[in-house]
């Protein structure tokens, strides 16, 4: 029987580490008000997040069969991932200006804008599922909080997908 995924592939934990490294670069740049560096790191973190979400949907089989993106119903706070995917699509494919630097009640930081300020989605899925999820889970929320939430979701899944080993070669 042929393996389900032939060829040389990177391990799941490497993808999660890539996400966390981009997230940490975002935190450092945002806290220093280096907006361009923060944008670059956020762009990368969102791309890592979508890649990790795709891998989980493909390989995690907690009940023995592929569950696709319904894996998100098994993990606390994973309901943010449709919103993350949609905002990533808008930033990556439609050059959306998100997030915004805001000052609220004397505190400043990067927050996700209201949906009406974003370019309209161009896919039915983003329009029907992603934007409602964005409005519920991300609009007005601190970017750092969202990135932390996504990282916690990936760490939770990683406990079930990866045997903890010392870092090794790709």
Exposure class string for 135-160: b at 16+ Cβ within 10 A, else e: eebbbebbbbebbebbbebbeebbee
What is the helix (H) or strand (E) element at residue 110, kind and residue range?
strand 107-111
* Whole-number pLDDT of residue 126: 92
The gap between the terminal CA atoms of the chain, to the nearest Å, is 26
Which residue ranges make up each domain of the chain? 12-161
- Rounded distance between C-alpha atoms, residue 146 and residue 132, angstroms: 16
**Two tokens at 88?**
């990533």
- Rounded distance between C-alpha atoms, residue 56 and residue 72, angstroms: 9
Number of neighbouring beta carbons within 10 Å of residue 108: 10
Model confidence pLDDT, tens digit, residues 88-115:
999 999 999 888 887 766 667 899 999 9
Model confidence pLDDT, tens digit, residues 29-79:
999 989 999 999 999 999 999 999 999 999 988 888 999 999 999 999 999
* Whole-number pLDDT of residue 104: 65
Question: Alpha carbon of 63 to those of 67, 68, 83, 108, 164: distances in Å?
Answer: 8, 12, 25, 44, 22
């Amino acid at each position: 029987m042929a393996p389900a995924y032939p060829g040389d592939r990177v391990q799941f934990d490497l993808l999660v580490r890539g996400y966390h490294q981009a997230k940490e670069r975002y935190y450092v740049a945002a806290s220093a008000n280096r907006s361009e560096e923060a944008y670059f790191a956020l762009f990368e973190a969102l791309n890592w997040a979508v890649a990790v979400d795709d891998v989980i949907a493909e390989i995690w089989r907690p009940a023995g069969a592929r569950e696709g993106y319904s894996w998100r119903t098994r993990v606390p706070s994973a309901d943010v991932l449709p919103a993350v995917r949609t905002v990533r699509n808008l930033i990556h494919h439609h050059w959306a200006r998100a997030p915004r630097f805001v000052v609220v009640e004397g505190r400043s930081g990067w927050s996700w804008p209201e949906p009406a300020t974003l370019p309209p989605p161009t896919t039915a899925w983003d329009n029907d599922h992603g934007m409602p999820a964005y409005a519920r889970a991300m609009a007005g929320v601190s970017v750092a909080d969202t990135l932390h939430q996504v990282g916690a979701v990936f760490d939770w899944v990683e406990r079930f997908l990866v045997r903890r080993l010392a870092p090794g070669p790709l």
